[in-house]
Amino acid sequence: MHGFFETDILSDMQKPFYVKVLLVVTLLLGINAFAQEKDHSSTDEKGSLKTEIKEFIGHHLLDSHDFNLFTIDEENNEHVGFPLPVILWDNGLKLFSSSKFHHGESVAEVDGNYYALYHGKILKTDAEGTINYDEAHHATNAKPLDFSITKNVVFIFLVAALMLFLFARMAKSYKTTAMPKGIGRLLEPIILYIRDDIAIPNIGKKHYKKYMSYLLTVFFFIWIINLLGLTPLGVNVTNNIAVTFALAILTYLITTFTANRNYWKHIFWMPDVPVFMKIVLAPIELLGTLIKPFSLMIRLYANITAGHVVLMSILGMMFIFKNWIGSPLSFGLAFALSLLELLVAALQAYIFTMLSALYFGSAVEEHHDH
Phi, psi values for residue 97, rounded to 5°: -90, 145
pLDDT in tens, 123-156: 888 888 888 888 888 888 888 988 888 888 999 9
The top-scoring range by mean pLDDT among 170-174, 200-204, 268-272 is 200-204
Answer whether residue 311 shows pLDDT above 90: no
Q: Is the model's pLDDT at 1 over the cut of 70?
A: no
Contacts of 342 (CB under 8 A, 6+ apart): 227, 230
User: Residue 218: pLDDT above 80?
Assistant: yes
- Between 248 and 132, the more confident residue is 248
Check if the beta carbon of residue 118 is closer than 8 Å to that of residue 139. Answer: yes
**Pairwise CA distance, residues 228 & 239, whole Å:** 12
- C-alpha pair distances (Å), 330 with each of 59, 311, 312, 333: 21, 10, 11, 5
Confidence at residue 367, expressed as pLDDT on a 0 to 100 scale: 65
Could you give the angle at which helices 241-258 and 209-228 cross, rounded to 10 degrees? 170
Q: Please report the pLDDT score of residue 17 as a whole number.
A: 46
Return d(Cα 138, Cα 44) in angstroms, integer: 29
Q: What is the pLDDT of residue 323?
A: 62
pLDDT at 173: 81
Query: Which stretches within the chain are classed as H helix?
Result: 2-13, 17-61, 151-173, 184-193, 200-203, 209-228, 241-258, 261-268, 275-321, 326-364
Residue 347 burial by Cβ neighbours in a 10 Å radius (0-12, 13-18, 19+) = middle
- DSSP symbols for 279-313: HHHHHHHHHHHHHHHHHHHHHHHHHHHHHHHHHHH
From CA 275, how far away is CA 279, in angstroms rounded?
A: 6
Q: Is the pTM of this model over 0.95?
A: no
Residue-level pLDDT at 55: 64
Highest mean pLDDT out of 5-9, 76-80, 298-302, 330-334: 298-302
* Cα dist from 57 to 50, 188, 234, 301, whole Å: 11, 38, 11, 16
Task: Tell me the backbone φ, ψ of residue 139, rounded to 5 degrees.
Answer: -65, 135
Could you tell me which residues come within 8 angstroms of residue 297 by beta carbon, excluding any fewer than 6 positions away? 241, 244, 245, 247, 248
Instruction: Kindly report the average pLDDT of the chain as a whole number.
Output: 79
> Can you tell me the mean pLDDT for 74-97?
80
For the chain, the structural domain boundaries read: 72-146, 151-369
pLDDT number for residue 39: 43
Flag whether pLDDT at 160 surpasses 90. yes
Q: Flag whether pLDDT at 15 surpasses 70.
A: no
CB < 8 Å & 24+ apart, contacts of 120-124: 120/62, 120/63, 120/64, 120/65, 121/146, 122/65, 122/86, 122/88, 122/146, 122/148, 124/90
**pLDDT reading at 34 higher than 90:** no
